[in-house]
């Protein structure tokens, strides 16, 4: 009998491999097959994109920046939480998978009870000792219709989703660290520009002050020069605070204090980033971790429909045990003390069909929600790449124009200063030229920063940096 029970369990286990999960079909991407075209997107044509396969070490060529990124990957708390979420999801999947197997357990017990004389044999009171030792399976559900296997598949897809989420966090972290790093370098340049401007304005002020004492300059010129000194001093204080805030932001992202020798004081001192191509097809987006995460969650919701369908069918639960029983501990394992039990139980859902139907409808609605989220994730990714490509197609023209503006402003300032020294024009023209030159110099720094940030962002939105 025991042998027959074991054979029955094995046969049932082999037959319980089917599921009622609907066939999964990836939804069509609700975006064009190619990137946008137009005046803003010039120079973006290229072959196949290799960005998802490009290691961040290859993209970020600056040695100091690499060290800072490596520090962030080792110390950033958000990335650490994402990694721990993976471990938790892996454990949940293992638990769900183990439920598929009949798990034996062993138990031993001692029962003692006293029989009173009134009901005892020969009208005598008696104390009985009963020793038990058995090995068995408690309430193992035979997964005939794949309910547990569907839940296991759902847990597996959720585990995959957490891994994709960790890669998304890593991509975002690397880009944020890089942007914080180059922002600090740009603000350091702005600070030095403000300091040099302050020094020049103070020299000009002292010169005009001496001329005013000699009667060659008016009090108006002197006060106008003083306004430029105070404006430059305010900018020095402002950019001093900016650089401190930039350093604090970088330290937070990295998760530890970045050594001063790892920081760059100018954009020119940072090694150029490797140029990348977006490719011709938008299908590269399907390899982005956030889109893969959305698809894994969609697959998990699809698997839950299989579990909801299987709940309509009867479930079989088996409880078995074999062991020995004796009234003496010494006789527990002697011949003739063997015991066994085999208790199959069939549960037929007869009166809760309305609940099961509602649960199935909820599972289907949940899947449709994840379909919409998956499609929205693709649309958002397409927009991010399109914006980055539009910025890339125009930033070089802006940089060229800004460089020319700086040159023209510098010439204007030189001519205005010469005219003032020779008494041809008022100091107001010099002030206006100084303001224009200073603003153009700041704009050039910010435009160079924008070009670097755009390349960092393009690498990020194309899915680079996950490995």
The CATH code of the domain that includes 278 is: 1.20.1600.10
Q: Tell me the average confidence (pLDDT) per consecutive run of 10 residues in the chain, 467 residues long.
A: 50 58 92 89 70 88 95 89 79 64 66 67 67 66 76 87 91 93 96 92 81 74 82 93 95 93 93 86 89 94 90 77 66 65 72 84 94 96 93 93 95 88 79 89 96 94 85
Which pLDDT score, from 0 to 100, does residue 1 have?
45
The count of domains in the chain is 1
Which pLDDT score, from 0 to 100, does residue 174 have?
93
Which pLDDT score, from 0 to 100, does residue 426 have?
76
- CA 80/CA 145 separation, integer angstroms: 39
- Please check whether residue 330 lies inside any domain of the structure: no
Strand order in the sheet with 315-326: 104-115, 126-142, 315-326, 338-347
Contacts (Cβ under 8 Å, ≥6 apart) of 26:
295
- For residue 242, what are the domain limits? 20-104+146-308+367-461
Which pLDDT score, from 0 to 100, does residue 320 have?
74
CB atoms under 10 Å from CB of 424, counted, come to: 11
Which pLDDT score, from 0 to 100, does residue 15 have?
47
Nearest-10 Cα torsion for 354, 358, 360, 365:
160
- Please check whether residue 394 lies inside any domain of the structure: yes
- Please check whether residue 92 lies inside any domain of the structure: yes
- Please check whether residue 123 lies inside any domain of the structure: no
Structure tokens at 393: 């197609």
3-state secondary structure of 115: strand
Which pLDDT score, from 0 to 100, does residue 123 have?
65
Q: Which string of b and e fits 238-275 if b means at least 16 CB within 10 Å?
A: ebeebbeebbebbbebbbeebeeebbbeebeebeebee
The pTM assigned to this predicted structure is: 0.82
Which pLDDT score, from 0 to 100, does residue 85 have?
79
- Please check whether residue 281 lies inside any domain of the structure: yes
- CA 387/CA 381 separation, integer angstroms: 10
Which pLDDT score, from 0 to 100, does residue 328 have?
63
- Please check whether residue 456 lies inside any domain of the structure: yes
């Amino acid at each position: 009998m025991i042998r027959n029970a074991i054979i029955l369990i094995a046969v049932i286990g082999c037959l319980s491999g089917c599921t009622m999960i609907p066939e999964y079909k990836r939804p069509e991407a609700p975006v064009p097959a190619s990137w946008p075209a137009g005046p803003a997107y010039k120079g973006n044509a290229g072959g196949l994109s290799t960005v998802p396969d490009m290691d961040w070490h290859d993209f970020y060529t600056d040695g100091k920046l690499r060290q800072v990124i490596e520090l962030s990957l080792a110390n950033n708390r958000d990335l650490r939480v994402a990694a721990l979420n993976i471990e938790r999801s892996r454990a949940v999947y293992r638990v769900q998978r183990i439920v598929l197997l009949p798990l034996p357990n062993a138990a031993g017990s001692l029962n003692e009870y006293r029989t009173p004389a009134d009901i005892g044999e020969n009208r005598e009171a008696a104390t009985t000792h009963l020793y038990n030792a058995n090995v068995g399976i408690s309430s193992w559900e035979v997964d005939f219709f794949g309910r547990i296997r569907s839940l296991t598949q759902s847990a597996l897809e959720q585990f995959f989703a957490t891994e994709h989420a960790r890669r998304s966090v890593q991509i975002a972290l690397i880009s944020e660290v890089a942007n914080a790093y180059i922002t600090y370098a740009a603000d350091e340049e702005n600070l030095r520009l403000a300091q040099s401007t302050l020094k020049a304005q103070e020299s000009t002020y002292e010169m005009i002050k001496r001329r005013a004492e000699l009667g060659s300059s008016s009090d108006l010129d002197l006060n106008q020069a003083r306004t430029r000194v105070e404006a430059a001093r305010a900018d020095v204080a402002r950019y001093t605070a900016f650089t401190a805030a930039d350093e604090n932001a970088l330290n937070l992202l990295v998760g530890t204090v970045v050594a001063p020798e790892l920081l760059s004081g100018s954009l020119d001192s940072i090694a150029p980033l490797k140029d990348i191509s977006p490719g011709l097809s938008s299908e590269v987006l399907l390899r982005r971790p956030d889109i893969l995460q959305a698809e894994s969650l969609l697959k998990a919701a699809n698997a839950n429909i299989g579990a909801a369908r299987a709940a309509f069918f009867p479930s079989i639960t088996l409880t078995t045990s074999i062991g020995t029983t004796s009234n003496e501990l010494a006789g527990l394992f002697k011949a003739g003390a063997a015991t066994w039990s085999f208790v199959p139980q069939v549960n037929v859902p007869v009166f809760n069909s309305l609940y099961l139907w509602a649960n199935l409808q909820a599972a289907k609605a949940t899947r449709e929600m994840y379909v919409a989220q998956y499609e929205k994730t693709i649309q958002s990714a397409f927009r991010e790449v399109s914006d980055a490509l539009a910025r890339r197609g125009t930033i070089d023209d802006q940089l060229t124009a800004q460089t020319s503006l700086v040159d023209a402003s510098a010439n204007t300032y030189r001519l205005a200063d010469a005219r003032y020294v020779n008494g041809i024009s008022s100091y107001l023209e010099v002030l206006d030229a100084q303001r224009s030159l200073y603003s153009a110099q700041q704009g050039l720094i910010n435009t160079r920063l924008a070009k670097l940030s755009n390349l960092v962002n393009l690498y990020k939105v194309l899915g680079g940096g996950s490995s």
